[in-house]
Amino acid sequence: MPFKTKIFQQKVDQWVQGEVREELLNACDDYMTLTTAVQKAQFLHGMMNAFDQKVDGNTRTKIMQACGRHCIGASTLKRARLIAQGAKDTDDLLERLNAAHIGGGYLQRERDVIHAAYDRCYCGSVSKTKEVFSPTYCQCSCGWYQKLFEMLLERPVEVDLLGSIIRGDSRCQFLIHI
């Protein structure tokens, strides 16, 4: 999925103040003028570095997770709901999601934690560069998983990022605390 510029702008406008807020909002406008995937990935690399340097960690996490919550498509949520209707329990649900390749295909439960992994970066906005990205960007995927499992389990979940391909790891890995 591509970078959700409008969502990012809305959340920056909501949670960041002053000169940094203006700088990030203007950067999003600049991003919108780029035409190639490589240009966009390189620009996002620089923007995330500035974001890391100028915005505190909790705010960055909130913003990127909000982007991820909007990144998950309605069709994915609809398919996941249909899959969940036939599931006997959480383990059966995870098996069915894996078979449908929703959530990366490597979902496994261990007590009240779901281990999740991707073998490739699914973000079209950053996967076009070989530069190592800030782990802040991958908080978007945490928000994606959070939206999926809160909808499926009908309760709040927390998601931790363990590893990310765009920051140099062999896989994207997450813990979903259910």
Task: Note the CATH number of domain 5-177.
Answer: 3.30.1380
Name the band, by pLDDT with cuts 50, 70 and 90, for residue 131.
Answer: confident
**pLDDT confidence of residue 128:** 73
pLDDT at 167 over 90: no
Q: Is the dihedral of CA 117, 119, 125, 131 positive or negative?
A: positive
Decide: 5 and 127 in contact? Cβ < 8 Å: no
Cβ atoms of 97 and 103 closer than 8 Å: yes
pLDDT value at 1 more than 70: no
The reported pLDDT for the residue numbered 2 is: 72
**Domain ranges in the chain?**
5-177
- pLDDT for the residue 55: 97
Q: What is the mean pLDDT of residues 162-172?
A: 91
Residue 77: is its pLDDT beyond 70?
Answer: yes
**122 SS3 class:** coil
> Residue range 2-16: average pLDDT?
92
pLDDT in tens, 28-76: 999 999 998 888 888 998 999 999 999 999 999 999 999 999 999 999 9
